């Protein structure tokens, strides 16, 4: 039943991304990438290899949708790789968490810190690979900052409203 619920959550988040959030942006500067919410909130009970495979599949769906040739795959796999390391540092007793990661399970401060780090990492990789030119490093940083703030507003707003 948990597997079916996770698939449903993934489809719902991807549908929101594709149908709504892909159309909400500030020029080319700010893009809301709410699909990473699924990866951030993924259960800790999943094996590491499966978590990275899920990241690859989510990135693949977004790459196919955006025709971006592996940019989202790289960012999602990196997020999936760093997330367990970050959670082990942020939460003293990860084994006590029986369900998905959320504000209720790991606390407001730890969830916010983790979400900020993972969102900035993901967005930086997306925009750095998209730009692929060191001359425009300031554009990459500006896009990362604006998009991260916009995405975090949606993710944290959802988490606080979910309480």
> What pLDDT does residue 152 have?
93
User: Mean pLDDT by 10-residue block, N- to C-terminus, for the chain (163 residues)?
Assistant: 75 78 73 87 85 91 85 94 84 64 80 92 92 82 90 88 76
Beta carbons of 125 and 75 less than 8 angstroms apart: yes
> What pLDDT does residue 98 have?
64
> What pLDDT does residue 85 have?
87
Q: What is the pTM of this model?
A: 0.87
> What pLDDT does residue 96 have?
59
């Amino acid at each position: 039943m948990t597997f079916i619920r996770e698939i449903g959550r993934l489809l719902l988040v991807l549908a929101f991304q594709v149908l709504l959030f892909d159309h909400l942006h500030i020029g080319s500067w700010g893009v809301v990438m709410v699909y990473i919410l699924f990866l951030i909130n993924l259960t800790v009970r999943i094996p590491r290899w499966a978590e990275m495979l899920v990241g690859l599949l989510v990135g693949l769906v977004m790459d196919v949708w955006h025709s971006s040739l592996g940019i989202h795959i790289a960012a999602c796999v990196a997020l999936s790789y760093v997330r367990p390391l970050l959670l082990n540092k942020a939460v003293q007793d990860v084994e006590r968490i029986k369900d998905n990661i959320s504000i209720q399970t790991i606390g407001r401060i730890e969830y916010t810190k983790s979400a900020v780090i993972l969102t900035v990492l993901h967005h930086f990789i997306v925009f750095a690979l998209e730009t692929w030119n060191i001359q425009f490093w300031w554009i990459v940083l500006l896009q990362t900052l604006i998009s991260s703030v916009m995405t975090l507003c949606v993710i944290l707003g959802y988490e606080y409203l979910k309480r």
